[in-house]
Amino acid sequence: MRGRRLAGTAMIVAGAALLTAAAGDVARAAVARDAARAEWDRRLAREAVVAVERAARGGYELAAPRRGTPVARLRVPRLGLDEIVVEGVGDAELRAGPGHLPGSAFPGDSGNSVISAHRDRHFRALGKLAIGDTVETETLAGPARWVVTKRTIVRRGRPALFSTAEPVLTLTTCWPIQALGPAPERLLYEARLLPVAAADL
């Protein structure tokens, strides 16, 4: 009887520790997300100040940002998704928001721009994205609108990301969305840049 009570107490303590760890990570993620949004707003404000100087120097040139730096804003109006994209896809970066894969193009530039996020956080609703949906991005270089053209599910570890000559936006997360533990597959969406006239920019 006494041993069973002790075991029950130990299980409650262990369970509380696990819940605390999970809740702590969620709280840290919320703080990091707010910090990324505030930093993005500051960067936009600074950008407005130095835009004239940069134009005088001859165009926009985005240096490789440090890991964790906000680099873009990602919106999917139909899903109500509005996130600040940070540089990097490590644990710390993905805690703050969707991560831009270093080495890939920036949204709007020529090439494949890859943005990934956790399926249980920032890209929780990504599974509902449909072909034909509109995705909006905004970088320090300016806004861009995309139309989803392709949905792919690939096995984990399989080649999935390739270079492109034209601007392409690739959104990735783990699949299935509702699965617990390591996900066996990856969900990828490919979006093509809408012309400026069609985007009404």
Partner 1 sequence: MSPFRHIALAAIALAVSATVVPAQFTTVVVPPPTKERPSIPRSMRTDTTKRDTSAVERLKEMSAWVDSAAVAMGIETTRADSLVQTVPADTAGVPVAPPAADTTGGPVVDTLWRPAPAPAPGEFREGAPAPDTATPFPLLALLGASLIGAGALLRRR
Contact footprint for partner 1 (CB under 8 A): 4-5, 7-23, 25-26, 88-90, 94, 99, 101-104, 112, 114, 116-121, 123, 154, 156-163, 172-174, 180-183, 186, 188
Which pair of tokens denotes residue 76?
């999917």
- Looking at the Cβ atoms of 102 and 143, the one nearer to partner 1 is 102
Query: How far, in Å, CA of 77 to CA of 189, rounded?
Result: 16
Instruction: Give me the least distance between CB of 2 and partner 1, in Å please.
Output: 11
Q: Which of 20/149 has CB closer to partner 1? A: 20
Cα dist from 149 to 25, 130, 186, 192, whole Å: 34, 9, 17, 7
Q: Round to whole Å and give the CA distance between 100 and 115.
A: 5
Closest approach of Cβ 191 to partner 1, in Å? Answer: 15
Distance (Å, rounded) from C-alpha 37 to C-alpha 103?
23
Q: How far is the CB of 114 from partner 1 (least distance, A)?
A: 6
Residue with tokens 């970088």: 139
Task: Pick the closer one to partner 1 by CB: 160 or 199.
Answer: 160
